[in-house]
Structure 1
Amino acid sequence: MGWLQKLIGKVGGAQPTDWTLLDGLPDPGLGIAGKPIVPDQCYIELYVESLRLEKARRFATTFHGLIYSFASLARQGTDRAELASVTKPQNLATLGVNDLNRVITVSKRVMRPMPWRGNPLGLELGLFSIKSGNLLSPLVNYITKVSDLAGISVVTRLNPFVPLVLEGLDMIAGQTADSEIELAIDTDMSLVDSRLCALVARPKGTISGASLKIDPQDRKLLVDGKPLQAAYCVFSIRSSSMNPEWGEIPALKEAYADFTRAIMTGKHKEAEEALAAFNRQLIVSPDLISADKDRLKEKVKADLRDAFPGGGQSAPDGVRARFENRKLADLNLYDQ
């Protein structure tokens, strides 16, 4: 943590005293806020919902909107997880001065589902405007591509990407004539439920959460019922009982592939040993909550019974066809 703190001051116009974090805004019917966040009973995700830009006015040309996030949270049996993300959603790809008067609805996930192991959630969130053209546009494209690769990896494989992402952001921030921090936050949050938050370009003490509401149609921020005329970023911390990326966990994918290969031999003993190896990987996996581990264990155990009905020592004809090219994600963990 702390990259944004080091950055503030490098980029022209950044004044952290002019930014206010408003936590726990009322949910206007989006179904996001108020869901329990309990250790080992849910996953959490981070979404940027909407934003409004202002400081890019000085560019007098087209520019990119860039969202940076860095999350640090407890991880079972190992060091804290660290996830870096830099994204340029399509509706932030190329903006002009005329876009500064409108609210941009993003609803973009910037942190993939992670098992919640307990407080705190360390969070850095930054919104940048970057002048398009010259050398910065290719660099922005490169950093977002690297971030996309990191975002689909589990945390154990993410670590090599983090320095690349941050180094690229340092290079962008160093071009003070062509980049602006619109908003930024570096904080630790204690979570008991899911929530909607807003980071607003207003001095602390000059705006209160009681006066703010989120428009359910385009998620823009309203103050006393009228659109807020300031730069802001509405974001959400969401709770979910399901991890849609469970089937992409590398250690489990590899262990399940070994299991299906053992089934393909037609030998019950080899398949049993491979199942035991899969279960060992499942027990130590930090990327699933306990309920999902139990569910997945039963799914794979059912595969063994399917391959060797009646406890037979040899697989009957037809098993190869059923298990050939079978992948972990084919198990339909949530029966959907």
Structure 2
Amino acid sequence: MSGSVGAWLNKTIEAIRGEKTTDWTFVDRLPDPGLADVPLVSIKPDEAYIEIFVESMRLKQARRFGTGFHGLVYLFARLSQEGAEDADLAAVSKPAKLAELDASNLDRVITVSDRMMGAVPWRGGSLALELGLFSVKKGNLLSPLLDYVARVSEVGGISFIGQVKPFLPLITQGMDLIAGQTQDAAIEVAIDTTLTLNESRLCAIVGMPKGSLGDAKLTLDPSDRKLLCDGRPLEEAYCVFSIRGTDQKADYGAIPELKASWAELRSAIQSNDRTRADNSLGAFSRAVLVSPDLIYRDKERLVAKAKQLLASAFPKGPAPVSRKVSLSEIGKAELSDLRLYE
């Protein structure tokens, strides 16, 4: 990957381990066990969004920390973007279930189904992906630092391309500080790869050298998403994650620039000033059409919905008896109230 953010993981692995980057085993397509929430649907450029979830994990290196440790998942993704440079997204997650463990029950497999990257438009090309699972010793300065980095990641947003960019340096700098404490941080498994997508998939990173599994078959237990090796639970560190395709962006109403433009349109409609409302609709439509966070179909739907609402507020001729939308109601409506996916 190009750029300082995209080069972060390999340098960090070397710093923590004190050796060259390990080629862990990476399975880029696990057999489909029939998980209801991970349908292996097709992913077509400009017709779908993609999301990344961590499904399950097993820790091993954390044993050397004694009784207290945190589990940490780091993700960096680079995707193609229409008419602009590639989009970068980064996230750090500290799953609560990992904080409940100690060295006495590390044999447990943790099922989290934790969303690391929200629905982002798939424009085609390739997905550059860094994903790492870390163990971090509890206490001293690292616990509050870990909490801080996780909060920055949450505030930065994991599905809005424009919003996350200013937070990328904060996330990687925080991770640099954590990884710099080599006595208190351990890398469990990690991958730095580039993928071509055409459908949803399940993947796994296993804490074993590449090629060491031989002919063994890895599968996923559909009941608890435990990783199996020839039908038996795998007793190594691993991280199972999914890349999911979807045709809906459920959080479209929270896209920052669209929320701001919608608030102006809503205010203009409520003021009963048709000229101002028309101008605001034009500004909202332009904001939607240039948004990097929506696919074409949803842009057209959203603009059409806004036009319909404006027409309801300012009908031609006398207002029909059947009219149910009042100016006061529109003034209180949020962007998500447009019900894009009815």
Q: Could you say which TM-score interval applies, normalised by the shorter chain?
A: over 0.9
> C-alpha distance in 1, partners of 2:104/2:171?
30
CA distance in 2, matches of 1:44, 1:210: 30
Q: For 2:23 and 2:287, how far apart are their aligned partners in 1? A: 48
Q: 2:336 aligns with which of 321, 329, 332?
A: 329
Name the CA shift for 1:318/1:156 in 2 (closer, same or farther; >3 Å). Answer: closer
Match of 1:222 in 2: 228
2: CA distance, partners of 1:36 / 1:176: 42
The answer on whether the counterparts of 1:16 and 1:184 sit within 8 Å (CA) in structure 2 is: no
Q: Which moved more, 1:189-198 or 1:74-83?
A: 74-83
- 3-state SS in 2 of match to 1:202: strand
1:19 corresponds to 2:24: yes
What is the match of residue 133 of structure 1? 139
Quote the RMSD (CA, aligned, Å).
2.0
Q: Greater shift after overlay, 125-134 or 245-254?
A: 245-254
Tell me which residue corresponds to 2:43.
37
Q: Which residue of 2 aligns with 1:82?
A: 88
> For residues 6 and 37 of structure 1, what CA distance do their matches in structure 2 show?
32
Q: Which residue number corresponds to residue 289 of structure 2?
A: 283
The alpha carbon displacement at 1:200 in A equals 0.5
Cα distance in 2 for partners of 1:309, 1:325 equals 19
Residue type of the alignment partner of 1:333: L
Do structure 1's residue 6 and structure 2's residue 7 form an aligned pair?
Answer: no
Q: Give the conservation status (yes or no) of the 8 Å contact 2:40–2:244.
A: no
Indicate if the aligned counterparts of 2:60 and 2:106 stay in contact, CA closer than 8 A. yes
Give the Å deviation of 1:268.
2.1
Is residue 163–residue 256 contact of structure 2 (8 Å, CA) maintained in 1? no
Distance, in Å, in 2 between the alignment partners of 1:264 and 1:18 is: 60
For residues 195-245 of structure 1, the C-alpha deviation after alignment (integer angstroms, 9 at most, x for no partner) is 000000112112268711100111000111100111110000000000011
Match of 2:3 in 1: none
Q: Mapping of 1:112-127 within 5 angstroms?
A: 112-127=118-133
* Contact in 2 for aligned 1:33/1:193 (Cα 8 Å): no
Q: Which amino acid in structure 1 is aligned with residue 12 of structure 2? A: L
Task: State how 1:1-336 maps to structure 2 within 5 Å.
Answer: 1-12=6-17, 16-17=21-22, 19-31=24-36, 32-151=38-157, 154-207=160-213, 211-310=217-316, 319-335=326-342
Cα 1:116/1:78, change in 2 over 3 Å:
same
- Alignment check: 8 A CA contact 1:51 1:104 kept: yes
CA contact (8 A) 2:50 2:119 kept: yes
* Aligned equivalents of 2:289, 2:34: Cα separation in 1: 38
> 1:126-155, CA deviations, whole angstroms, 9 ceiling, x for partnerless residues?
000001011111111111111111125722
Q: In 2 relative to 1, CA 312–75 (structure 1 residues): closer, same or farther, beyond 3 Å?
A: farther
Q: 1:268-323: CA deviations, max 9, x gaps?
A: 2222221112111111111101111111111111111110122679xx99833222
With normalisation by structure 2, the TM-score equals 0.92
SS in 2 for 1:25: coil
Work out the percentage of aligned pairs sharing the same amino acid. 51
Report the AA paired with residue 151 of structure 1. Answer: G
1:121, 1:190 within 8 Å by CA — same for their partners in 2?
yes
Pairwise CA distance, 1:15: 6.5
* Partner SS state of residue 177, structure 1: coil
Superposition deviation, residue 33 in structure 1: 4.8
SS in 2 for 1:11: helix
Whole-angstrom CA distance in 2 between matches of 1:69 and 1:264: 43
Q: Is contact 2:51-2:118 (8 Å) kept?
A: yes
Residues 43-71 of structure 1 deviation map (CA, whole Å, 9 limit, x = unaligned): 00000000001011111121000000001
TM-score, normalised with respect to structure 1? 0.94
> What letter corresponds to residue 228 of structure 2 in structure 1?
L
**Alpha-carbon distance in structure 2 between the residues aligned to 1:115 and 1:240:** 9
1:110-132 deviation line (CA, Å, top 9, x unaligned): 01110000121010000000010
Cα offset, 1:99, TM superposition: 2.4
In the alignment, the residues of structure 2 paired with residue 261 and residue 237 of structure 1 have an alpha-carbon distance, to the nearest angstrom, of 39
Q: Describe the shift of the 1:306–1:33 C-alpha distance in structure 2 as closer, same or farther (beyond 3 A).
A: closer
Q: How many residues align?
A: 333
